[in-house]
Structure 1
Amino acid sequence: MPTFGWIILVIVALVVGAIVGFFIARKYMMDYFKENPPIDERMITQMMAQMGQKPSKKKVQQIMNSMKMQNK
């Protein structure tokens, strides 16, 4: 096979690999977020209510901000 044929084969393999990799990664992330949804304000409010605390808007915002700072 001439050199040009190998170049075309490599380019096609890279494109197909990128497309397949994208769909595999997309499926993995969708399954991950289905099992582990990100925490939002509603979930914090429910957790505080289960612990017997009366959640205020200010307290919920403080917790959200502290979680964002920990993730950085």
Structure 2
Amino acid sequence: MSTIWVVLIALGALILGLVLGFFIARKTMMNYLKKNPPINEQMLRTMMMQMGQKPSQKKINQMMRAMNQQMDQPNKK
């Protein structure tokens, strides 16, 4: 009877560890991406120039704002 309890406790601890680890890793990754966005103004400017557009600062600011809103949206659900 005691071995069943040991197995159940070990299984419970494993499941709890996996769930907590997932949420902690997710939160850490979200914070990292918020502080270090995958695209910055210089990259955006380069992409627009490669597509044949002459980027104005106003247009770049607009696109950066839109991307930041897109990043914030999943957090609000």
Q: TM-score range by the shorter chain?
A: 0.5 to 0.7
The residue aligned with 1:23 is 23
Distance (Å, rounded) in 1 between the aligned partners of 2:44 and 2:37:
16
Distance (Å, rounded) in 1 between the aligned partners of 2:30 and 2:19:
17
% identity of equivalent residues:
39
The residue correspondences of 1:1-72 to structure 2 (distance < 5 A) are: 2-39=2-39, 43-46=42-45, 48=46, 55-57=49-51
TM-score (norm 2): 0.55
Give the gaps of 5 or more residues in structure 2: 53-77
What count of residue pairs does the alignment treat as equivalent? 51
TM-score (norm 1): 0.58
Distance (Å, rounded) in 2 between the aligned partners of 1:15 and 1:26:
17
Larger radius of gyration: 1
Root-mean-square deviation (CA, aligned residues, Å) is: 2.5
